[in-house]
């Protein structure tokens, strides 16, 4: 069924950690850093034979197709409340949401992984495409962090020590939050933090995709965490447990390069099942599956492995921004996790 072997040993690692190690991306390295004759360590070949592919379902995968009028939906044996919708988002809409995720979603008042250090950053995407730099505009005053930052042209006279390129910041962007904001220091949603209303078109899409897990009720999209993955990035095993009603699903939309998704049990000792996630796929986690550890140990980049749709027709002949978006997504994955908070 795609479950990973839960052998004992392996340095005391849990079953989930062993799965992460099995599927992670290993890069070429040297064994003797200080030797004039450096020998290359051989990269282990990743065995993908146990990874479920929802575009090529096999007997024994433990997958059941459900009756649904709008799109194909699959359930997974042993994981009540988990649903998989392959290619749930059409080709042209995928590129639209990739563009929104890069150009709109990181804009204040939405918080990002950079907010704690730099405060609100306006125009990250446009600054990156223009090769601008982020420079401090105010001093650090003792223990009170009052320094402000803004983007400027590389030759701007305001440039000073501490400057960082917008391109580097974009590549280091790991998450952005939509709708009701999440306070990571308190691990709780905080309605007192300024926020913008949830994007209506994304709410409509989430409501439609959530229907297999709603038992006739209607999903309310109130918040989302948008994750950004580069070629070497992974998302460790975790549980999403901050919402009030776990009977309501997390609606998770994948965009960009193909990834491996691990779905385990209520402890990290439970062997996880591995599956491919491609651009446009959607995962629903509701009810008992909300208590399951899950994570993304690897994404696949490059023409032969990424399984990216051909977005070139959407970028060709269009504005320069779309070409830059195409360049970005060929080495990246974006995941939009939509939640009903209250």
Known binding-site positions: 238, 240, 294
Burial, 24: exposed, middle or buried (Cβ in 10 Å; 0-12, 13-18, 19+)? Answer: middle
Residues 6+ positions from 102 with CB-CB distance below 8 Å: 125, 170, 325, 328, 334
Closest CA to 254 of 103, 49, 101, 53: 101
Asked whether the beta carbons of 54 and 76 are under 8 A apart, the reply is: no
Strands 282-285 and 273-277: unpaired
70 HSE (CA, 13 A, CB side): 12
Residues 6+ positions from 105 with CB-CB distance below 8 Å: 176, 178, 226
Residues marked as binding for Fe cation?
Answer: 238, 240, 294
Asked whether the beta carbons of 290 and 272 are under 8 A apart, the reply is: no
């Amino acid at each position: 069924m795609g479950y990973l072997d839960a052998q004992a040993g392996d340095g005391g690692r849990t079953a989930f950690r062993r799965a992460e190690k099995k599927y992670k991306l290993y890069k070429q390295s040297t064994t003797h850093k200080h030797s004039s004759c450096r020998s290359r360590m051989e990269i282990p070949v990743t065995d993908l034979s146990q990874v479920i592919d929802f575009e090529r379902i096999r007997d024994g995968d433990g997958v059941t197709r459900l009756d649904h009028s709008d799109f194909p939906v699959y359930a997974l044996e042993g994981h009540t409340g988990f649903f998989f919708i392959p290619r749930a988002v059409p080709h042209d809409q995928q590129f639209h949401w990739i563009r929104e995720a890069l150009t709109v979603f990181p804009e204040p008042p939405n918080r990002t992984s950079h907010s704690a250090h730099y405060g609100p950053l306006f125009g990250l995407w446009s600054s990156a495409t223009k090769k601008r730099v982020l420079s401090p505009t105010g001093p650090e005053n003792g223990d009170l962090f009052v320094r402000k930052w803004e983007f400027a042209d590389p030759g701007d006279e305001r440039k000073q020590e501490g400057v960082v390129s917008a391109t580097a910041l974009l590549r280091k962007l790991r998450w952005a939050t939509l709708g009701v904001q999440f306070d990571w220091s308190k691990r709780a949603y905080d309605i007192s933090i300024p926020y913008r209303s949830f994007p209506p078109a994304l709410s409509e899409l989430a409501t439609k995709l959530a229907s297999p897990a709603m038992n006739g009720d209607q999903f309310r999209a109130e918040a989302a965490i948008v994750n950004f993955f580069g070629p070497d990035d992974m998302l460790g095993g975790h549980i999403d447990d901050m919402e009030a009603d776990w009977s309501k699903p997390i609606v998770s939309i994948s965009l960009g390069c193909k990834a491996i998704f691990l779905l385990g049990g209520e402890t990290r000792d439970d062997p996880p099942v591995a599956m491919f996630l491609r651009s446009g796929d959607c995962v629903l986690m509701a009810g008992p599956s909300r208590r399951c550890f899950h994570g993304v140990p690897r994404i696949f980049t490059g023409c032969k492995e990424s399984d990216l749709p051909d977005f070139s027709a959407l970028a060709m002949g269009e504005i320069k921004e779309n070409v830059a978006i195409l360049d970005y997504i060929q080495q990246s994955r974006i995941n939009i996790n939509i939640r009903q908070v209250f």
